[in-house]
Amino acid sequence: MKMRQDPILTVTLNPALDLSARVPHMIAGPKLRLEQTRYEPGGGGVNVARAISLLEGEVLAWVALGGASGAQHLALLQAQAVPVHQFQAPGETRQSWAVTDADGRQYRLQLPGEAWDASLARAALADIVAQATGLVVLSGSQPPGVDPGFPQEIATRLGPGRLIVDISGPALQELHDAPDLQSRPFVLRLDQAEAEALAGQALTTAAQTIAFAKALLEKGVAEYLCVARGADGSVLVGNGAAHHCVPPQVDVVSKVGAGDSFTGAFALALARGVAPVDALCFGTAAAAAAVMTPGTELCRPEDVTKVLAACTAIGF
């Protein structure tokens, strides 16, 4: 019997057709022949939707797709039985590459994507709101030309307690620099590099990360702030509480997809009515499970179950 769950809509403005492959040595000059090539539908919100689906949750993926690469992306996503609402994007959907050499070093390359104009962004906003009936997860980068305040516009239209954002670049900087209590997201998730860039310093301990998160919440950037700390798990701060969830040590095969697996599991737990601290543990387990898989593969449910049993949440 499936668990009761509120609807989840994931939003991907700038998806990518992901290629992962292996190469004996990554060197400049000669042609490098890739091995074990694999194509996956990618982009922040797409991967979040895939993670939710893998974890037996129900989700609708809103995805802006265009051109032949967009059609290939859509076919791959549908083959994974993820329900899709396609929004017509200009030009070709971008591609990205993750190439791993024999020593385990991974090289990640991404194209920027086609530029949008203001009218297309307005149409996308209206379409997103029309499809949203529960939680909304906005994840990934924005196409060139989309206003950095777009996430706050979505938050305003949805109202409190609805929007989870896992964004980067100018949109994240705008949310940090110009927060608005009338348009703040429900949850803002940051990876460690993003948090340290905003903090202007290294956050070497969980206590430092929590202090940073509390300062952002006081500014009004979100109702809850979640910050990843790599192998040291994640912290969640909000509603007068702060917790740090530490996963067990696992063998790292590929770090691709860990953040999206966290966000998918975290959102799914909240949609099932789970307390935020328990959602933090579920997300942490999914992130740890994701690094155990090769290439762009996300978390495996059986791995999540095993890791979750060993996750520990500490209150501060």
Which residues form the catalytic set? 260
Q: At 64, which helix (H) or strand (E)?
A: strand 60-65
- How far, in Å, CA of 206 to CA of 222, rounded? 19
* Strand ranges (E), 168-278: 187-190, 224-228, 234-238, 241-246
Closest CA to 42 of 141, 135, 120, 133: 141
- How far, in Å, CA of 294 to CA of 251, rounded? 11
Using CA atoms, how far residue 259 sits from 44, 153, 155, 240, 285, in Å, is: 9, 24, 21, 25, 11
Residue 12 contacts residue 166 (beta carbons within 8 Å): no
Tokens of 139: 């994840």
Cα Dmax for the chain: 57
Q: Could you give the 3-state DSSP secondary structure of residue 132? A: coil
Distance from chain centroid for Cα 119? 26
- How far, in Å, CA of 294 to CA of 278, rounded? 27
Residue 19 contacts residue 95 (beta carbons within 8 Å): yes
- How far, in Å, CA of 6 to CA of 270, rounded? 9
- How far, in Å, CA of 181 to CA of 171, rounded? 17
Q: Is the CA virtual torsion 263, 173, 20, 138 positive or negative?
A: positive
